[in-house]
Amino acid sequence: MSQRYEIRFSGAGGQGLITAGIILAEAASIIEGKSAVQSQSYGPEARGGASKSEVIISDGPIDYPKATIVDACLAMTQEAANKYATGIKDGGLLLLDDDFVKDTPTGNFKVYRLPIMRMAKEDVGREIVANVVALGAVVGMTGVVSREAAEEAVLRKVPEAFKDLNKKAFNLGFEKGKGLAN
């Protein structure tokens, strides 16, 4: 059977993590021609509280559309880390926002930290692109899709006036993410 790769983005509602998941799924399925399914937590908890978006990527058809055992997880807030940094496989990856997650979830996975919100605000110039920084970091860290495919998917999603900003955000995240895993 073909290999499934499961990624979970989690954080506070409104941080754009559902969008990050959609962009990753587009990079995999529309640009790279793999199979991808994106789903998200839905309902009251998605507004203000902890929210998650899951993407499953595979070379073959994807039957069960929800996460079974997570290969890579991102948590942008402590609440999200507590709630969603679960079901990560042995040797899997967990990326935390260094400023917002103080208590590190424990398990047989590798934990990495990056100040994602701070990078967006100080290095890119806008906090609003934190989701794209995070996406870049996850792609750099996992290599689940190519850098080019992910960057193209980001640029397809944003209006002309914000292309440079998002490109900068993605590439900064990618470099830092790649540096962590190697």
Partner 1 sequence: MAKKVALLQGNQACAAGAIYAGAKFFAGYPITPSTEVAEELSNELPKVGGSFIQMEDEIAAMAAVIGGSLTGAKSITATSGPGVSLKQELIGYACIAEVPCVIINVMRGGPSTGMPTGPGQSDVMQAMWGTHGDHAAIALVPSTVQEIFTETVRAFNLAEKYRMPVQVLFDEIVGHMRERIEFPEPGELEVIDRAAPTVGPAEYKPYDATKGQVPPLAAFGSGYKFHVTGLNKAADGFPTTKAEYVDAEERRQINKVKDNADDIVKFEEYLTEDAEVVIWAYGSTARSARYAVNELRKEGVKVGLFRPLTIWPFPEKRTFELAKQCKAIVVAEMNLGQMVLEVERVAKGNCVVVHEGRVDGEPINPGQIAAKVKEVL
Residue numbers of the site for partner 1 (CB under 8 A)? 1, 22, 25-26, 29-30, 35-40, 42-44, 62-66, 68
In whole angstroms, the minimum distance from the beta carbon of 67 to partner 1 comes to: 10
Q: Which residue, 26 or 71, has its beta carbon nearer to partner 1? A: 26
Q: 3-state DSSP call for residue 100?
A: coil
Q: Which residue, 14 or 179, has its beta carbon nearer to partner 1? A: 14
Q: Which residue, 63 or 148, has its beta carbon nearer to partner 1? A: 63
In whole angstroms, the minimum distance from the beta carbon of 25 to partner 1 comes to: 6
DSSP 142: H
Cβ atoms within 10 Å of 143's Cβ, excluding its own:
13
Which among 158, 157, 171 has a CA at the least distance from the CA of 124?
A: 171
In whole angstroms, the minimum distance from the beta carbon of 123 to partner 1 comes to: 29
The Cα–Cα gap between 73 and 67 comes to 11
Q: Which residue, 46 or 116, has its beta carbon nearer to partner 1? A: 46
In whole angstroms, the minimum distance from the beta carbon of 42 to partner 1 comes to: 5
Residue 121 contacts residue 142 (beta carbons within 8 Å): no
